Amino acid sequence: MDKVKIGDIAAYSGVSLATVSRFFNKPELLAERTKSKIDEAIRELGYSQDHLARILVTGKSNLAGVIFPNLHLSYYAEILNQLIEQGKARGCRFIVYTSNESKESELSIIADLASYRIRGLILLSHLLDRGEVEGLQVPVISIERAGGDFMQINSDNFTGGKLAGDLLVANGCDVFVHINNSYLEELPSFKRIVGFELSVQGRPYERVIQPVFGNTYSPEASKGMGELLESLLAKYPGRKMGIFCSNDDIANLALRECVKSGVRIPDAVELIGYDNSPISDSAVYPITSIEQNIPLIAQIAVESLDNYRRYESIVPARLVKKETTS
């Protein structure tokens, strides 16, 4: 069978060449009925795009790079799911890497991505400093990174932390605890701590920073959380505790240890996570969480590949009450 051309798709689906071209380059501009007709023609004719030829002719591709620190956190996995969904609507595909070793390794990854003439780089890793990111020869869209002459998408972390604190205070908690795996003032997520501590100031409060909680699926994390919970219960016997965790994975780890220890949720301990990622709904008790609106973050990131501007976009935070708070 001779190679199927765009003109064959246009004739089969009864639309113009320009419409077929728009289907591949700007699908969001087409009506769903038109896209369905072209989709059917592509399937029936067995058409496949020659991406290499497209890059050689136009100097551009429909590819974008994404670099995560890891993919075991529910937040990162859901960001990837939503990027893929948003990309489908705009004819964009992703090359995905994880990077947690060294700056040199990450720069090598970015060089590989640039060789594909990517439309842009969506960066969630924090290995590179501001100047190094600004020096990259590709448009950069960062998520949860403060400052820099590139596109940034950040949650309203301060409001999120304050919402968590306000709820635990209103629910009559006696002792307040924040659990995190890092304490880096340069990260936007640091403002979650600031907002929470503002809400609970003047009340019994502990801030717990344990790097081992960076991978909540490790035996070390489970052991660390078990020991932490045991020490808190011994220190504050009979007092209702309000715990705010920096993400839903840490909150789920805390919840699991509470259940194993027979701690009553939410009577003895109230628990709030952050992100409102899928794990917050699938936990043994659905976890109250601060929603980052992950679909909106992904939408802004994908749209910015076509309409790139160097500015910071702040996504509102919202409290989503579930079963771990009263």
Share of the chain above pLDDT 70, in %: 96
Number of C-alpha atoms within 13 angstroms, CB side, residue 122? 31
pLDDT, position 146:
82
pLDDT, position 243:
98
Mean pLDDT of 9-38: 87
User: Does residue 108 have a pLDDT over 60?
Assistant: yes
Closest CA to 78 of 170, 143, 161: 143
Residue 268 — pLDDT band, cuts 50, 70, 90?
very high
Q: How is 58-87 classified by DSSP, letter by letter?
A: HS--SEEEEEES-S-SHHHHHHHHHHHHHH
User: Does residue 100 have a pLDDT over 50?
Assistant: yes
pLDDT, position 173:
98
Distance between CA atoms of 183 and 189, rounded to whole angstroms?
Answer: 9
Mean residue pLDDT of the chain comes to 92
Residue 1 — pLDDT band, cuts 50, 70, 90?
very low
Residue 60 — pLDDT band, cuts 50, 70, 90?
low
User: Does residue 59 have a pLDDT over 60?
Assistant: no
Asked if residue 295 has a cis previous peptide bond (ω within 30° of 0), the answer is: no
* Largest interatomic CA distance in the chain: 78
Distance of CA 266 to the CA centre of its chain: 27
User: Does residue 26 have a pLDDT over 90?
Assistant: no
Mean pLDDT of 1-24: 83
For 241-260, what is each residue's pLDDT tens digit? 999 999 999 999 999 999 99
Angle at 106 between CA 313 and CA 151, to 5 degrees: 15
Q: CA 12 → CA 9, 25, 36, 118, distances in Å?
A: 5, 19, 12, 31
For the CA atoms of 102, 103, 105, 106, the dihedral, rounded to the nearest 10 degrees, stands at: 120
Mean pLDDT of 129-154: 94
287: helix, strand or coil = coil
Mean pLDDT of 29-48: 88
Residue 312 — pLDDT band, cuts 50, 70, 90?
very high
pLDDT, position 49:
64
- Listed in sequence order, the residues at least 6 apart from 50 whose beta carbon sits closer than 8 Å to its beta carbon are none
Backbone dihedral angles phi then psi of residue 122, each to the nearest 5 degrees: -95, 115
The most confident of 55-64, 67-76, 163-172, by mean pLDDT:
163-172
304: helix, strand or coil = helix
Lowest mean pLDDT among 55-59, 95-99, 160-164, 216-220: 55-59
Task: Give the full edge-to-edge strand order of the sheet including 121-123.
Answer: 93-98, 63-68, 121-123, 140-143, 151-155, 312-315
All structural domains of the chain, each given as residue ranges with its CATH number in brackets, are 6-48 (no CATH), 58-154+295-315 (3.40.50.2300), 157-291 (3.40.50.2300)
Residue 111 — pLDDT band, cuts 50, 70, 90?
very high
User: Does residue 58 have a pLDDT over 70?
Assistant: no
User: Does residue 149 have a pLDDT over 50?
Assistant: yes
* Contact (Cβ atoms closer than 8 angstroms) between residue 100 and residue 318: no
* Contact (Cβ atoms closer than 8 angstroms) between residue 189 and residue 246: yes
User: Does residue 116 have a pLDDT over 90?
Assistant: no
Distance between CA atoms of 142 and 293, rounded to whole angstroms?
Answer: 16
* Contact (Cβ atoms closer than 8 angstroms) between residue 156 and residue 315: yes
